[in-house]
A and B are shown apart, each in its own frame.
Chain A
Amino acid sequence: MDTSTFEKKTDINGRMHVSLKHDSAHKHVTGAAEYIDDIPEAAGTLHGALGLSTCPHGEILSIDLDAVKAAPGVVWVFTGRDVPGVNDISPGGRHDEPLLAVTDVQFHGQPIFAVIAETRDAARRAARLAKIEYRPLPHWSDIDGALANEAPLVTEPMTLLRGDPQAEIAKPPHRLKGQMRIGGQEHFYLEGHIAMAIPGEDDEVTVWSSTQHPSEVQHMVGHILGVPANAVTVQTRRMGGGFGGKETQGNQFAALAAIAAKKLKRAVKFRPDRDEDMVMTGKRHDFLIDYDVAYDERGRIHAVDATFAARCGFSSDLSGPVTDRALFHADSSYFYPHVRLTSKPLKTHTVSNTAFRGFGGPQGMLGAERIIEEIAYAVGRDPLDIRKLNFYGQPGSGRDLTPYHQQVQDNIIGRVVEELEQSSDYQARRQAIIEFNRTSRFLRKGIALTPVKFGISFTLTAYNQAGALVHVYSDGSIHLNHGGTEMGQGLNTKVAQVVADCFQVDVDRVKITATTTAKVPNTSATAASSGTDLNGMAAYDAARQIKERLIDFAARCYNVPKEEVEFLPNRVRAGNEIVPFETLVWRAYYDRVQLSAAGFYKTPKIHWDRKAGRGHPFYYFAYGASCTEVTIDTLTGEYLIDRTDILHDVGKSLNPAIDIGQVEGAFVQGMGWLTTEELWWDDKGRLRTHAPSTYKIPLASDRPKIFNVKLAEWSQNAEATIARSKAVGEPPFMLAISVLEALSMAVASVADYRFCPRLDAPATPERVLMAVERLKGLA
């Protein structure tokens, strides 16, 4: 063997902390990356479509499916009564979400029956032929309607309390009250929901599901079919985007496909049309925030009392943890000496809202930033000054305790904001903008610099665990599997880097394989930004076990102390002996060393007592800041985003290119949420923005004209996470708040910055114009 090349190599390809391309990039660009709808269909594959409610709330009086059954190509039509197990897909086990509505419907678009046909087209056409009679009941689609009707809560509310906020607020003289409305958001993953089921022997079934949570799909399918989890295998190679929209929402399609596959003994695929997907699946929660704040003459906050009412839809889904996380982030980066925060998860007759990147955190933070704005305009100062005045202090400063009684121990927000303020030239640009606004009659500019502090960990402690499976084959190739799912975020690439780094082999030696419940059981959703933290550690644990066995073996084999065994790039040194990695592996195999290991990880230090509102729910915080400049037209409310500068903290980045991609993508997605993405229900409870023709996510031409994104390269996680990195999925979403605030400043200029514009989200051109008109009225 020629060992000359590998012996010289001083570094492996794809170690940790380098910008490695996405493992599927070459397949993405050629169209070879396989999504579920691309998998060759088994002979005789059938296709499903759903019959949806045309009534927002009502009792089902009769269902006539004769015409559906008689339609060409139809093989089977089924309703909730045909569910073999339990007709329920509520993820929290509250039994408040039927797979198919049987007795009553609770939103326009709720599934009532399923059609299985020879082609997808035939199924879709047949689904429209049902005759269903309803007895309409009172309905409301939004928070105002819910409050007016004293709607029930879909789940237990939460209160966070520290100090005596009411007493502080009652003290004169600086107090303000206000209200903010924040719209929801459609995920608009480019690949819509899809599931394909193939029946197996006995009670077995295999389901390919576009899901962030294969274990939950497995349990849900078992529950629906009335079979144990060991009969169900769920596979996910990749999703065409998830963003939280595939945390629980894929359950229904997987369950439907599995029911039909078992019944008909044929492969069955369910792929809703984009419009149906948007109507039938949950979205980000809208919020209505009422705030009551006491502060001093400089603008420092004394007390905050706020209520967070949320549009949850008809069932609980994840609304409990989502509204909880809104409260956990209602402090943004600010210390509230006295505080009370209360959630109100309201029932509405709309699709049940669900997880979406940030998971309530963005809405909570936006409320805090509105409070800062209110105070800034009230005391006549730059909102950035008020932000700095209210930042958390360092541990021991007496200003380090969150409303949930966790001490902020890793606070770097001051440094992040200061560096961005310098690099973006904030102060000079703000002065120039104020000058511009003085002389420009209709076009106005605004600038804002806003911070991000986001808590990392699932607030349900049990979810903070992960498993992985690593095999080293006798030829030295490595098979990697873990419980996380790939939805574009580069999780598989990062985890492969961890394993490659551990063994000191080139990353292309590590094969990443589809997530399957058969290899790693009882996994958590790939959510809460935790994918790499959890699965990277679990994979590392598995690799480390094998590595230790190899070290033991090498020490024995070459008769050296263990300390004399060293993993060099693609080779191993044992004393004076250097052998290629695969040589050592082959010898270890021959010596009957186990070369496979299951890894496991659980996040340390965290605990949470929800009833008491106290604990340490987050392992650490991720930080960031952004500065945005905009121009608005006060005649029409149209605007352009001129420039955004971002400095974001990902600790010691495992893969800077992938992390920057997450930051840029999250910012633009957040910008969409706060600007042009508007969900609109009509008075009949119908969602009218149910396709990209009516629901407008950002385009290439919407992103900031100048877009400078940097990672805080000096940052390292204070906690012992995988290679001291930090989570990156959700935190940068909230960097987009600077866009809304910059628009707000531009609006404020029409009344000489004397009033807080109270610009609500999404700030569509219409909302900007209406805020301008309102302020003109005040001026």
Chain B
Amino acid sequence: MTDSIRFILNGEDVSLTSVRPTETLLDYLRVKRRLTGTKEGCAEGDCGACTVLVGRLIDGMLQYESVNACIRFVGSLHGTHVVTVEHLAGPDGILHPIQQAMVDCHGSQCGFCTPGFVMSLYGLWLSTEKPDRNTIERALQGNLCRCTGYEPIVRAAEQVGAARPSAIFDPLERNRTEIMARLWALQAGETITIEDNGERLIIPGSASALAEILAEEPTATVVAGSTDVGLWVTKQMRPLNPVVFINGISELQTIQRGERGLTIGAGVTYSQAMAVLAETVPAFAGLVNRIGGEQVRNMGTIGGNIANGSPIGDTPPPLIALGASVNLRSRGGSRMVPLDIFFIAYGKQDRRPGEFVESIFVPLPEEGARLAVYKITKRRDEDITAVCGAFNLTLGEDGTVRNIRIAYGGMAATPKRALSVEAALRGKAWTEETVIEAQAAYDRDYKPLTDWRASAEYRQITARNLLLRFFLETSGNPQELKRFEEVA
């Protein structure tokens, strides 16, 4: 049997037996298929001009999500339904209600970003009835428009959200059952290997198969959401060989709720994690809303965010503050490493050859614990952290600090705990005086750098002030400016 990548592109079955492991969906669409409605604006998942929908079966349901075609690899599409802007209008050229609303509201000017906006709005329209302005803005965090100032686009989304035509007019609603059946037929569970000019891509059918593959190929690049690895290819043109795509492994896509905490599989995307996090750790969920744009949240995984070891990854500070551990698996077995010691130095984590991140264990917050995560960025949404501070506080009955864990991103070469600050607070009365005194300890914990995101001085001042903000908020004085009133 010849291994092949099989998926549905708009209405057509596609089967590819030769694929470069680093071939992007965008190049495939534009160059190979001449579907040029999908545009390249940045090739790094920030502008959204390349937005397409990818439908996949999640818990037996067909769910469509917006993704960035520019950093999505073709090899990661096995068993999915790829929908491009060309699929929306009727065969007679009648515009889809979303497209018509964009026209009616004057939502396009130069038009280059427009197909991407249409697809993001389509993704929203499929998932949410009558979205409010907050929801619309959140769905558009990953789409840049330089002409309109966005107002007419948001109006278009409101307008189309209010009037929902019958499913017969929508190409995905109309064919949902049939597409589901076709996708079911593609779910094999067997490992797929494709070789193309000496480059190999491997799609393991299971976590144990992944462990075997990594034992044989310890230098393989493991790709989950490709929101980071995609840029290694499009920007750095790094040679990657072989590439192992793990986004199809269903075992890695589960979230288990135990008595002590949550076990989040390494393949769980930010979007999937949101619902559970919003219930268990709402403060964390608020942060997830500010990671990338919707497309990145639909692709990127918490596992990847950790495995990467970036000092400015968004999830490690709150995970460290919560006392999370990472479960590393290899052919030889599994081991748990507390996250705060997993990050060793810049670009170096405690991950041995052949090991991969299988899951993250997030302990449930203590009864009565107060949690907060603050992300400071130049632009509020879809920006990379300048400073991210996470706090997990438990007070004793006498109002003293019984326990506190504080972790920051952007302040050191790794995500790092503020051990001196914690020590300065522990056991003391939770008062403004205590907090002001403890602020001096930041100098012992962190020596931040100056770069284009922030100066060392700004990082140091805001890091201290976030502790004060946390204090004020725990004492009933809300200080954080929130664009989105409530967390979804």
Residues of A within 8 A of B (CB): 19, 21-22, 24-35, 37-38, 40, 124-125, 128, 187-192, 238-243, 273-275, 441-443, 487-490, 631, 633, 635-640, 657-658, 660-661, 664-669, 676, 678, 680, 682, 688-689, 691-694, 696-703, 705, 707, 709, 764-766, 769-770, 773
Contacts and interface: CB of A to CB of B under 8 A. Distances in A.
Given A189-B110, A192-B41, A668-B149, 17 more contacts: A22-B111, A30-B95, A37-B36, A242-B110, A442-B469, A633-B480, A636-B462, A636-B466, A661-B109, A676-B379, A678-B378, A698-B149, A699-B137, A699-B141, A700-B145, A702-B380, A707-B151
B43 interface: yes
Interface in B360-398: 374, 376-384, 386
Contacts of A709: 151
Given A636-B466, A688-B452, A700 B140 contact: yes
Nearest to B37: A31
A523 B36 CA distance: 31
Nearest to B148: A665
Contacts of B33: none
A32 B466 contact: no
A682 B455 CA distance: 12
B488 interface: no
A640 B88 CA distance: 36
Given A240-B39, A667-B149, A693 B461 contact: no
Interface centre among A240, A658, A669 (most CB of B within 10 A): A240
A696 B378 contact: yes
B152 interface: yes
A114 B140 CA distance: 37
User: Would you call the interface of chain A mostly helix, strand, loop, or mixed?
Assistant: loop
Interface string B4-44: 00000000000000000000000000100011111111111
Interface of B: 30, 34-44, 46-47, 49, 84-86, 88-89, 95, 98-100, 102-104, 106-115, 118, 136-138, 140-141, 143-154, 234-235, 237, 374, 376-384, 386, 451-455, 457-458, 461-462, 465-466, 468-469, 472, 477, 479-481, 483-484
A490 B95 contact: no
B136 A28 contact: no
B36 A638 contact: no
Contact of B36 (A38, A187, A631, A703): A38
B147 A635 contact: no
A669 B109 CA distance: 14
A28 B469 contact: no
A241 B147 contact: yes
A682 B378 CA distance: 18
Given A243-B146, A273-B43, A442-B472, A31 B109 contact: no
A699 B289 CA distance: 14
B46 A692 contact: yes
B146 A699 contact: no
B376 A703 contact: no
Contacts, number: 262
Contacts of A240: 39, 110-113
A691 B469 contact: no
A381 to B, nearest CB: 29
Contact of B151 (A26, A489, A664): A664
A635 B469 contact: yes
Contacts of B106: 19, 21-22, 25, 657-658, 660-661
A26 B146 contact: no
Interface centre among A128, A658, A698, A701 (most CB of B within 10 A): A701
A669 B481 contact: no
A37 B36 CA distance: 8
A30 B472 contact: no
Interface centre among B88, B115, B145 (most CB of A within 10 A): B145
B36 A700 contact: no
Nearest to B156: A29
A701 B382 CA distance: 10
A274 B43 contact: yes
6 contacts: A29-B115, A189-B112, A274-B44, A635-B465, A680-B451, A680-B452
Interface centre among B88, B112, B235, B465 (most CB of A within 10 A): B112
B215 to A, nearest CB: 32
Contacts of A766: 378, 386, 454-455, 458
A488 B147 contact: yes
A31 B379 contact: no
Given A26-B103, A636-B465, A701-B141, A191 B378 contact: no
Contacts of A691: 42, 44, 46, 235
A19 B152 CA distance: 14
Given A31-B85, A35-B39, A766-B458, A661 B148 contact: yes
Contact of B380 (A128, A275, A638): A638
Contact of A694 (B99, B452, B465): B452
B381 to A, nearest CB: 5
A106 B102 CA distance: 45
Nearest to B139: A700
A266 B262 CA distance: 60
B39 A693 contact: no
A269 B329 CA distance: 47
Contacts of A637: 458, 462
A29 B102 contact: yes
A26 B110 contact: no
Contacts of A699: 137, 140-141, 143-144, 150, 379-382
A635 B468 contact: yes
B153 A128 contact: no
Given A29-B102, A700-B136, A773-B461, A128 B237 contact: yes
A29 B110 contact: no
A443 B458 contact: no
A703 B34 CA distance: 35
Nearest to A240: B112
B103 A25 contact: yes
B95 A190 contact: no
| 4 smallest beta-carbon distances between A and B, as pairs | A31-B37, A488-B110, A240-B112, A28-B111
Contacts of B118: 29
B372 to A, nearest CB: 13
